[in-house]
Structure 1
Amino acid sequence: MFHFCRIIFQAIVLYCGTVATVWAHAFWVVPVEGHVQPGERVVFDLRIGPRWPGESMQRDTTTLISRFELDDGVQRTPIAGRENLRPVGHYKATVSGANFAVMTSYPHSAELSGEKFEAYLAEEGLDDALEIRRKFGLKTASARERFRRNVKTLVLVGDNSDGFDRLLNLPFELVPLTDPLRYSAGEPFVVRVLRNGRPLADTQVVAGLRDSETTLHTRTDMNGNARLEFPAGGMWMLYAVDIAPSTTPDADWESIWTSLTFEVNP
């Protein structure tokens, strides 16, 4: 019975869009350990929710996960895992340097009341969309949104961070410009936001520390760069959202989410 109720709850969270404004949208993959040695096994957890700890999800390649691959700088290979079980995947680290796990989701849809959609846009700093709704008198109108996610997590293998700033050519991507292996808490950490390979200016980036309520907010500059000063080392999750009016009649808005997880030293 508990298992059945859990499945129903997850379905509500994923598809209704009314339990919480952004719960079903935010989506990240996190390794149990973000820095390993060659030959060690890396295990990944999939979580949904805008803040730590979120909701741990099972591996579901039928309705949720469309692609889950490892990019170790040499090749891209599928990440193994058992369907409908946790953890979501694992692999054996063999190539030193920056290893990225890349995951994309199938598109999902949600319909929110005007009040909840406005709150969601405000929380995620989507000011252009708020202005469009104001301009056309839609402030109280409900909204149908189609959203998708493409996310990545960085695992450093060995005492080597080569390739930490590697581009993975995702349609929406957070790219670290600061080396996590050599970062010290309190220093500026810079990440670039790319949309279809181009820097995206004036976009909100949110960062959260694992097992903590610490949350940071910033916006990108004209070059698409966001600067964050992490108060502590550990596993950090960063995410950003881009939204635009839909070009098809079955949705009012189309959004795309991206997240990046990585571990920095204290």
Structure 2
Amino acid sequence: MKALKQAVVALALLACGIRAAQAHEFWLIPHDAQSHTGAQVLFELRIGSGLPGKRSVRIPGLVADFTATDANGTYAVSGHDNSLVLGHLRSRTAGATLAALQTHQAQITLSATEFEAYLQEEGLEKILLQRREAGDSAQPASELYSRCAKSIVLVDGKSEGFDKTLGLPLELIPLTEPLHYQSGEAYRLRLIRDGKPLAGTQVKALLKGYFLKARTDEKGEVTFTLPGPGVWLFSAEDMVPSQNPDAEWESVWASVTLDVGEKEAL
């Protein structure tokens, strides 16, 4: 069954017209990044190497867990396979509602050229170095990967709870209040792996027309000077040697989307 899920995910990426080696970003887009109590919020899945990405259906076997957390607690996000709406919910209370998707693990094998280019793009120099030291730089690589995608919806013009930690394997947590952010100021996030700060890791910040990169410090924190308001995508990846004999490497990807610097009158 696990092998079937892996095959389905890989084939679905190819069916979407995006080679798996190029489908680096994986994120949730809410139809309404700011909502109000009682309103329905729909989420789309986007994949690709940059914005706006390619809209993807909810692939059978993809979703391991999909929940939302607000001031009232955590509940399941509704959805069904093969739909362009990945999931939907009704906002229950003022403040931040944090939708979090975790995928099942999937596997991919890349040529040496593809894998080395991908490591360079994602800032995974530590893996490049390990491959070089092992004499494997010219060898293909097999990777097991999973995704942790969050989207933060701000309800009734309030943002309380935007910085809540959800306990994902790899998680990006905004630290700067988003609604009152002014362009040109510092916007901070923290990256944690299994509950602990992850230092020295590349984090990307994307908005249409903008693409920023920075690395986390010893506290797992990263700072961007965002040039404009909008629904920003932040993403990061961590990779380690695999304990599974079927693959050399295992990676976890994290992303978070939220509306920064746009306070709407609801």
The letter of the residue matching 1:84 is N
AA aligned to 2:11 is: A
Amino acid corresponding to residue 108 of structure 2 in structure 1: A
State the Cα deviation string for residues 142-197 of structure 1 (Å, max 9, x = none).
00000001111100101211111101011110000000111111111000000111
Is it true that 1:217 corresponds to 2:213 in the alignment?
yes
Counterpart residue identity of residue 169, structure 2: P
Match of 1:195 in 2: 193
Alpha-carbon shift at residue 232 of structure 1 (Å) = 0.7
1:34 aligned partner: 33
The one-letter amino acid of 1:203's match is T
Q: C-alpha deviations, 1:224-266, integer Å up to 9, x for none?
A: 1010111110110010000011112100000000000000125
Could you tell me which runs of 5 or more consecutive residues in structure 1 were left unpaired when the two chains were aligned.
Answer: 1-7
- Candidates 85, 88, 93, aligned match of 2:86: 88
Of 169, 172, 175, the residue aligned with 1:171 is 169
Q: Which residue number in structure 2 is paired with residue 72 of structure 1?
A: 70
Asked if 1:104 corresponds to 2:83, the answer is no
SS of the residue corresponding to residue 126 of structure 2 reads helix
Q: Is the 2:10–2:108 Cα contact (8 Å) retained in structure 1? A: no
Instruction: Give the distance between the partners of 2:61 and 2:215, measured in 1 at CA.
Output: 32
Rounded Cα–Cα distance in structure 1 between residues aligned with 2:13 and 2:88: 26
List 4+ stretches of structure 1 deviating above 6 A: none
Q: Is the 8 A contact 2:25 2:48 kept in 1?
A: yes
Aligned residues between the structures: 253
Query: Are 1:234 and 2:233 counterparts?
Result: no
Report deviation, 1:135. 0.6
- For residues 156 and 49 of structure 1, do their structure 2 counterparts lie closer, same or farther at Cα, with a shift above 3 Å needed? same
Q: Does the 8 Å contact 2:10/2:106 carry over to 1?
A: no
Contact 2:9 2:62 in 1 (8 A): no
Superposition TM-score, scaled by structure 2 size: 0.90
Deviation for aligned residue 1:31: 0.6
Q: Could you tell me the percent identity over the aligned residues? A: 39
Give the CA deviation at 1:80: 1.4
Q: Provide the C-alpha distance between the structure 1 equivalents of 2:134 and 2:105, rounded to a whole number of angstroms.
A: 27
Partner of residue 144, structure 1: 142
**Aligned counterparts of 2:196 and 2:10: Cα–Cα separation in 1:** 34
Could you tell me which residue of structure 2 aligns to residue 19 of structure 1?
Answer: 19
CA distance in 1, matches of 2:32, 2:184: 22
The secondary structure found in structure 2 opposite 1:184 is coil
- 8 Å CA contact 1:12–1:19 kept in 2: the answer is no
User: For 1:87, what is the secondary structure of its paired residue?
Assistant: coil
Secondary structure of 1:254's match? strand
Aligned counterparts of 2:167 and 2:220: Cα–Cα separation in 1: 16
**Uncovered stretches (5+) of structure 2, i.e. residues with no partner:** 1-7
Q: C-alpha distance in 1, partners of 2:256/2:12?
A: 25
